[in-house]
Structure 1
Amino acid sequence: MALQRFAIPAAKLLRSKSHIVPGQLLVTEHFFQVPLDYSNPAAGSITLFGRSATKHETPVFPPDEPPSPKPWIVYLEGGPGFGNREPQDHPLTRTALSRGYQVLYLDHRGVGFSTPVSTAMLARLPGGNGPNAVDVQANYLKLMRQDNTVRDCESVRKLLTDGLPEHKARWSIFGQSYGGFVSISYLSLHPEGLREVFLTGGLAPVGKTPDQVYEATFRKTIERNALYYKKFPEDAETVRQIATYIEQEGGSQGVPLPGGGFLTVPRLLTIGIAFGGHGGFDQVHSILLHLKSSLDQFGFLTRASLTPLESFTSFDTNIIYAILHEAIYCNGPGSASNWSAYRVGQSLAQFSWLCKTNDSITSSASPDQPILFSGEMIFPFHFETYPELIPLRAVADRLASTSDWPALYDVDQLRKNKVPVYAASYIHDMYVDYGFAKDTANLIPGVKTFETNLMHHNAVRAKAEEVMQNLFGLRDDVLD
Structure 2
Amino acid sequence: MAPVVARLVSQSKPYLVPGKLLVKEFWFEVPLDHDNPDGTTKLKLFARSAIKYERPIVEPSPSEVEQRPYLVYLQGGPGMGTSAPQDSPLSKYMLDRGYELLMLDQRGTGLSSTISANTLETIGSPQEQADYLKFFRADTLVKDSEAVRLCLTKDYPAEKKKWSTFGQSFGGMMTLTYLSFAPEGLRECFITGGLAALDKGPGDVYQATYRRCIARNQAYYKKFPGDVAAVKWIAEKIIELGGEKGVPLPAGGFLTVRRLMTVGLNFGAHGGVDRVHSYVTRMKADLDQFGKFTRYTLNELEQDNVWDTAPIYTLLHEPCWCYGPGVAGRWAAERVGQSLEEYQWLQADWAGPASLGEKPLYFSGEMIYPFHFETCSELIQLKEVADILAEFDGWAPLYDMRQLGRNEVPVYAASYNDMYVDPDLARVTASRIRGIKVFETNVLFHNALRSNPDDVIPQLLKLRDDTID
SS of equivalent to 1:53: strand
1:68, distance to aligned residue in structure 2 (A): 3.1
SS in 1 for 2:35: coil
Q: Could you tell me which residue of structure 2 aligns to residue 395 of structure 1?
A: 385
Counterpart pick for 1:361 among 352, 358, 362: 352
Letter in 2 for 1:236: V
1:44 is aligned, of 41, 46, 50, to 41
- 1:285-296 to structure 2, matched below 5 A, reads 285-296=277-288
Partner of 2:273: 281
Displacement of 1:474: 0.4
* 2:9 pairs with 1:19: no
Count residues with an aligned counterpart: 466
1:208 aligned counterpart, secondary structure = coil
8 Å Cα contact 2:67-2:156 kept in structure 1: no
- Residue 356 (structure 1) shift: 3.0
Deviation at 1:468? 0.8
Match of 1:31 in 2: 27
Give, in angstroms, the shift of residue 153 of structure 1.
0.4
Residue matched to 2:195: 203
Letter in 2 for 1:398: I
> Equivalent residues in 2 for 1:192-231 (5 A)?
192-231=184-223
Cα deviation code 1:169-197 (max 9, x no counterpart)? 00000000000011000001100000000
Using the alignment, how far apart are the partners of 1:375 and 1:22 within structure 2? Answer: 36
Q: Please state if 1:470 is matched with 2:459.
A: yes
For 2:309 and 2:459, the matched residues in 1 are separated by: 34
CA distance in 1, matches of 2:351, 2:305: 24
Q: TM-score, normalised by structure 2?
A: 0.97
- 1:247–1:360 contact (8 Å) kept in structure 2: no
Q: Is the 8 A contact 2:49 2:100 kept in 1?
A: yes
Amino acid at match of 2:221: Y
The one of 136, 153, 164 equivalent to 1:161 is 153
2:227 corresponds to 1:269: no
- Structure 1 residue 161: Cα displacement: 0.5
Whole-angstrom CA distance in 2 between matches of 1:201 and 1:7:
32
Question: After superposition, what is the alpha-carbon deviation per residue over 1:244-291, rounded to whole angstroms, capped at 9, x for unaligned?
Answer: 111111111101111111000000001000000100001111111111
Please say if 1:422 is aligned against 2:412.
yes
1:62 Cα shift?
A: 4.7
The CA deviation string for residues 44-93 of structure 1, in whole angstroms up to 9 with x for no partner, is 21011111001223211455971431111000110001001111111011
- Distance, in Å, in 2 between the alignment partners of 1:198 and 1:67 is 27
Q: Secondary structure at the match of 1:202?
A: coil
For 1:187, which of 158, 161, 179 is the aligned residue? 179
Contact 1:376 1:431 in 2 (8 A): yes
Give the equivalent residue in structure 2 for 1:54.
Answer: 51
Aligned to 2:449: 460
Aligned to 1:241: 233
CA distance in 2 between counterparts of 1:182 and 1:79 reads 11
3-state SS of 2:148 partner: helix
Residue-by-residue CA offset, 1:409-451 (whole Å, 9 max, x unaligned): 111111110000000001x200001011111110011100000
Alignment check: 8 A CA contact 1:37 1:43 kept: no
Q: Give the structure 2 partner of residue 109 of structure 1.
A: 107
Find runs of 4+ consecutive structure 1 residues off by over 2 angstroms: 61-65, 163-167
The residue type equivalent to 1:70 in the other structure is R
**Structure 1 gap ranges (5+):** 1-5
Aligned equivalent of 2:435: 446
Correspondence 1:9 to 2:4 = yes
TM-score, reference length from structure 1:
0.95
2:402 alignment partner, one of 412, 419, 423: 412
Distance 1:361 1:37 in 2: 47
- State the Cα distance separating 1:374 from its structure 2 match: 0.5
What is the percent sequence identity of the aligned residues? Answer: 51
Partner SS, residue 308 of structure 1: helix
1:124 to 115, 122, 125: 122
SS at match of 2:396: coil
> What CA distance in whole angstroms lies between the structure 2 residues aligned with 1:314 and 1:135?
24
> 3-state DSSP class of the match of 1:412?
helix
Distance 2:324 2:438 in 1: 27
Do structure 1's residue 351 and structure 2's residue 343 form an aligned pair?
Answer: yes
Tell me the secondary structure at the aligned position of residue 28 of structure 1.
Answer: strand
User: C-alpha distance in 1, partners of 2:437/2:311?
Assistant: 34
CA-CA distance at 1:43 after TM superposition:
3.8
Relative to structure 2, which stretch is displaced further, 60-69 or 16-25?
60-69
Shift of 1:360: 4.1
Q: Distance in 2 between matches of 1:34 and 1:94?
A: 31
Equivalent residue in structure 2 for 1:380, among 358, 364, 370: 370
SS at match of 1:388: helix
User: Equivalents in 2 of 1:354, 1:78: separation in Å?
Assistant: 27
Please say if residues 120 and 129 of structure 2, whose CA atoms lie closer than 8 Å, have aligned partners that are also in contact. Answer: yes
Whole-Å separation in 1 of the counterparts to 2:157 and 2:404: 25
- Which range moved further: 47-56 or 59-68? 59-68
Contact 2:232 2:354 in 1 (8 A): no
Between the aligned partners of 1:121 and 1:375, the Cα distance in structure 2 is: 28
